[in-house]
């Protein structure tokens, strides 16, 4: 059995890690250059939750019952919850390895709050409310960490105009994360470790337009033009320092949960539904950017409403399921096909053709558990966010309606296996689906050559 560490870079795309910055990163460049490289195709939807847990368990979002951060309780208009670790019923890799006697160190893998028992040590992820909560396993680890490093930093506020403040917070958070990691990896017994640095995702959302020359709002020579390369180099130094302090024969996996690309804008989904007659409001909004609340909707004349986000979720007002449902259950499949036809007709603000895709969960997953939306919609192959707010004088917004945001999620992330003992063939290996990664990791950790 091999010792292994998983370096999780939330939102890191192949464009950055495999191509544009590869030669500027001494450590990550060597690992991906000499490793077995895959383009990782993310989950449906390509969202942090569920993607990391799809990777860790090998199960689809449908099997996990995870379709994003927020979930609407089926049959209600106003009840929702944030998916957390209590929703996970499938076995993550650290529990599988634990059955073989392997101690693990797990830090920041979403969703791991509230912390659940593992064979080893765990610090929960960015959905942890704050450091006053219980966020470690075993529980006493929290005090040990805070005595040495102070209150643990789970995330930064990144959808704000003050980019200097975002940058300062990113560097401080990542610095602390690596100090904690180094402490755990050099003072605790472990055979497997998996950490996720959420700072990479926050960096992309806050600074993508400043770096990406293809972003519609990029201005050459701007103040933050080099901040993305700078952060990756900072991260690269931290990873290099960390790897120097662990056994040299450790297998290294480098992974991301999804990719990133320029956000072209936000499509105002509920106004579109209203224009098409699927959604009926009791009265017009008084100001732009109002959140659509249940008491604003004329449910007796509403068939469909939606949520915003990097993808949109549509909900059908089903008779017998929702309190004031009007769509007969037998009419739902036909309505879904009708909506798909209408969504395919949507063009961009300048008449450009979009590649919009929509799915009912049953089309994507072998099993559909939990509280799925009735439809999942990706506007123009994810290049356009969905804006759930209303009251705008257009269907096309230049900005995220929830605050500054320069990047959207993309389907493709990274997966690299680096073997310092050179027993694993290096080079490009094409595309791997995210749900296959758990088995691939176990295959090499357990050295099961029969399933190579």
DSSP letter assigned to residue 152: P
Start-end ranges of CATH 3.40.720.10 in the chain?
4-261+410-446
CA distances (Å), origin 410, targets 35, 45, 379, 407 = 23, 10, 12, 9
Helix (H, G, I), strand (E, B) or coil at 303: coil
Give the neighbor-by-neighbor strand order of the sheet with 120-123.
136-137, 120-123, 104-107, 192-197, 4-9, 251-255, 412-418, 36-41, 427-433
* CATH of region 4-261+410-446: 3.40.720.10
Give the Cα separation of 18 and 15 in Å (integer). Answer: 6
At 448 the pLDDT is: 62
Give the Cα separation of 40 and 12 in Å (integer). Answer: 11
Structural contact between residues 157 and 166, judged by C-beta atoms closer than 8 angstroms: yes
At 358 the pLDDT is: 98
What HEC string does 163-190 produce? HHHHHHHHHHHHHHHHHHHHHHHHHCCC
Per-residue pLDDT of the chain (452 residues; tens, 9 = 90+): 999 999 999 999 999 999 999 999 999 999 999 999 999 999 999 999 999 999 999 999 999 999 999 999 999 999 999 999 999 999 999 999 999 999 999 999 999 999 999 999 999 999 999 999 999 999 999 999 999 999 999 999 999 999 999 999 999 999 999 999 999 999 999 999 999 999 999 999 999 999 999 999 999 999 999 999 999 999 999 999 999 999 999 999 999 999 999 999 999 999 999 999 999 999 989 899 999 999 999 999 999 999 999 999 999 999 999 999 999 999 999 999 999 999 999 999 999 999 999 999 999 999 999 999 999 999 999 999 999 999 999 999 998 888 889 999 999 999 999 999 999 999 999 999 999 999 999 999 998 644 33
Give buried/exposed letters for 275-301 (b at 16+ CB in 10 A, else e): eeebbebeeebeeeeeebeeeebebee
At 332 the pLDDT is: 98
Structural contact between residues 183 and 238, judged by C-beta atoms closer than 8 angstroms: no
At 452 the pLDDT is: 36
At 322 the pLDDT is: 97
At 258 the pLDDT is: 98
Predicted TM-score (pTM) of the model is 0.96
């Amino acid at each position: 059995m091999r010792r292994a560490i998983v370096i999780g870079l939330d939102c890191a795309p192949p464009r950055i890690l495999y191509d544009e910055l590869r030669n500027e990163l001494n450590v990550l460049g060597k690992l991906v250059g000499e490793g077995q490289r895959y383009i990782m195709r993310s989950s449906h939807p390509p969202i942090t939750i569920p993607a990391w847990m799809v990777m860790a368990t090998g199960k689809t979002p449908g099997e996990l019952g995870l379709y994003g951060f927020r979930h609407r309780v089926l049959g209600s208009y106003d009840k929702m919850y944030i998916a957390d670790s209590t929703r996970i019923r499938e076995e993550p890799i650290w529990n599988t390895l634990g059955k073989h006697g392997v101690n693990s160190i797990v830090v920041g893998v979403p969703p791991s709050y509230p912390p659940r028992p593992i064979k080893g040590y765990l610090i929960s992820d960015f959905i942890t409310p704050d450091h006053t909560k219980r966020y470690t396993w075993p529980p006493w680890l929290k005090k040990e960490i805070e005595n040495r490093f102070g209150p643990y930093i789970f995330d930064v506020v990144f959808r704000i105009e003050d980019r200097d403040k975002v940058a300062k917070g990113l560097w401080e958070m990542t610095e602390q994360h690596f100090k904690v990691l180094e402490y755990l990896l050099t003072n605790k017994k472990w055979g497997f470790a998996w950490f996720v640095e959420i700072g990479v995702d926050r960096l992309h959302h806050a600074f993508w337009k400043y770096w990406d020359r293809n972003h519609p709002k990029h201005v050459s020579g701007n103040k933050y033009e080099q901040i993305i390369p700078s952060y990756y180099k900072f991260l690269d130094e931290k990873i290099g320092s960390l790897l120097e302090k662990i056994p040299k024969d450790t297998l290294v996996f480098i992974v991301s949960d999804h990719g990133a690309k320029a956000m072209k804008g936000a499509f105002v989904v509920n106004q579109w539904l209203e224009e098409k007659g699927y959604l009926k409001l009791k009265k017009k909004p008084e100001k732009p950017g109002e959140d659509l609340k249940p008491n604003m909707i004329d449910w007796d004349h509403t068939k469909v409403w939606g949520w915003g986000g990097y993808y949109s979720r549509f909900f059908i007002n089903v008779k017998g399921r929702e309190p004031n449902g009007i769509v007969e259950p037998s009419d739902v499949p036909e309505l879904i096909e009708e909506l798909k036809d209408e969504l395919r007709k949507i063009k961009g603000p300048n008449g450009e053709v979009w590649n919009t895709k929509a799915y009912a969960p049953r089309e994507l997953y072998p099993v559909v558990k939990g509280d799925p939306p009735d439809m999942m919609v990706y506007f123009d192959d994810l290049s356009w966010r969905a804006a759930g707010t209303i009251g705008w004088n257009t269907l096309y917004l230049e900005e995220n309606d929830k605050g500054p945001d320069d990047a959207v999620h993309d389907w493709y992330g990274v997966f690299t296996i680096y073997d310092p003992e050179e027993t694993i063939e290096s080079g490009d290996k094409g595309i791997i689906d995210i749900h296959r990664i758990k088995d691939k990791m176990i295959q090499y950790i357990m050295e099961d050559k029969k399933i190579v």
